Amino acid sequence: FKYDPPVGNDSHPHSVYQLPDLRSFVKCDLSNAKQLSNATQGAGEGFEVVLDKWQPYYFACGESNGFHCDVGRMKFFVVPMLRAWRT
């Protein structure tokens, strides 16, 4: 994840939360979400999240009580592809 930190009063901060399930994702319910980053941790090179299981992962911006999530602008989900391992 990479995003600009807030600058001045005219910018809106961002953060990244991992939501526990589809219901939380659809409703933008951050009450049981895990905060992965705050408003400044996406600066520079940003940060990486390793998706190590074959399952859906749900993410959303949690700033301003999930405003960006509520308007559908900063939320997405990922399902990693199953990969065959060679020995």
The answer to whether position 7 is within a domain reads no
Amino acid at 37: S
- In this structure, how many other beta carbons lie within 10 angstroms of the beta carbon of residue 32? 10
> What is residue 87's predicted lDDT score, i.e. its pLDDT?
63
Could you list the residue range(s) of the whole structural domain that residue 51 is in? 16-78
The answer to whether position 61 is within a domain reads yes
Q: What is the DSSP string of 17-35?
A: EEESSHHHHHHT--TTPEE
The answer to whether position 56 is within a domain reads yes
> What is residue 64's predicted lDDT score, i.e. its pLDDT?
79
> What is residue 86's predicted lDDT score, i.e. its pLDDT?
66
Q: Please count the structural domains in the chain.
A: 1
SS3 label, residue 60: strand
The answer to whether position 86 is within a domain reads no
pLDDT of the chain, 87 residues: tens digit per residue: 887 777 777 677 888 999 999 999 999 999 999 999 888 777 788 888 889 888 999 999 888 777 778 887 789 999 988 776 666
The answer to whether position 10 is within a domain reads no
For the whole prediction, is pTM greater than 0.85?
Answer: no
